Amino acid sequence: MIQNNTNIREPRITLVGAGPGDAELITLKGIKALQTADVVLYDALVNDEILDFAPADAVKVYVGKRSGDHSFSQDNINRLMVDYALNYGHVVRLKGGDPFVFGRGHEELEFAAEHQIPTQVVPGISSSIGVPGLQGIPVTHRGVSESFWVITGTTSDGKISADLYDAAKTNATIVVLMGIHKLAKIAEIFKNEGKGQLPVAVIQSGTTVNEKVVVGVADTIVALAAEQSITSPALIVLGEVVALHPTFKLVKEVYEVVAKG
C-alpha cells in the first residue's frame, strides 16, 4: 500500500500516449498533463527523456510492460495507479504509442471508474502508423491500398491471431505489432496465399537512435531479418505500399537476380 502523503490533492488519472519512441513525438496535450503530474507510472517503451516534462518532485514509477518482460502484472499496475491517485493526487499513466492500441488503456479506465476516480485520455501517435510513415511507407495510398489492418502478432494465449489469416486474403496494408518472434509463421501465412513476392518491411525500435529497417518480400524477409539480428520491439508491415520505401527497388532487383539463378 502506498504511504499517505500529507499534501493530498484531488485524485485523478490521465492516460497519456507517449508516442512510438522519439521523445519529440509526444503531443503538446501530453506534455501539459505531465507538467501537472504528482505521480508518473511509465512503461518500458517510454523514452526516458519524456519524464523530464514532469515536475522534479513528482514520483516516477517504472512498471515494465515490454514483450517478454512483464515486470508488473496488469492487476498490479491498476492497483498502483489507484493507490497513488488516492494518496498523492494526479497520476499520469504514461504508455508507449497510443493507450488504446494494444495498450489495455480501457481496462485501466474501468478500474479507475470502479474506485470513483475521474479520468482523462490523451491519445498518442501509434507506432502502427507513425513508424511506417517516418520510413516513407504510407499505410494507405491511392490506387495501391484502400485500407489497413493493425493486428497483434501474438494473442494472450500465445498463438497467432486468426485475423492474420483473413487479412492475408485482402489487398489491405497489414501492420503486425508484437509479432517479430513469429515472423516466419506470419510470412508463411502470406506465402500460402500466393503472396511470396509481397513487399514486407520489418522495423525495430522505430523513431529511436536504435532503429533498424529491413525491406524485402515474404519469401526473403525471415532470412533478411535474421541477417540484421532484428529483435523486439519491432513491427512488421506487409503490403504493396512497402514498395514505396526508397530501398525497395534495389531489393526487388536483387531478389529477381537470385530467383533466376
Q: Which residues are catalytic?
A: 43, 65, 178
Tell me the three cell numbers of residue 117: 476516480
Tell me whether the omega of the peptide bond preceding residue 246 falls within 30 degrees of 0, making it cis: no
89/8 Cα distance (integer angstroms) = 6
Among residues 53, 29, 30, 42, the alpha carbon closest in space to that of 93 is found at 42
- Report DSSP letters for 91-133, one per residue: EEEEESB-TTSSS-HHHHHHHHHHTT--EEEE----HHHHHHH
Q: Which residues contact 38 (CB under 8 A, 6 or more apart)?
A: 9, 55, 58, 59, 84, 88, 89, 90, 91
* 123: region left, alpha or beta (phi > 0 left; psi from -120 to 50 alpha): beta
* Strand partners for 176: 151, 236
